[in-house]
Amino acid sequence: MVGARWILLDQDDIQHALSALMFAELDGVLVAVDHRRTSPGVGLWQRAVHLLLVSEQEDAEDIRLKTGITKVISNDSSTIEDYLW
């Protein structure tokens, strides 16, 4: 992860990326997850996420308040790369 700015994950990658998520913050790497196919469930993985992209059917502000994720976007047509900072 040295030199990386972002880790980009699809919702199906989360369960296989827990080790990377654990060390991402220590390495100063931000984590973005595209979770548009299903509603994001509650989990410890959310503590490592800085950007979450959800379906337009979801209430992004409600998810942000419940999870503490820095930025939650609800959009069905953009890519997650459009929201990286």
pLDDT of residue 27: 86
Q: Let me know if 48 is exposed, middle or buried by CB neighbors in 10 A (0-12, 13-18, 19+).
A: buried
Q: State which residues of the chain have pLDDT below 70.
A: 1-3
Q: pTM higher than 0.75, yes or no?
A: yes
Q: Which residues contact 78 (CB under 8 A, 6 or more apart)?
A: 53
* Amino acid 1: pLDDT: 58
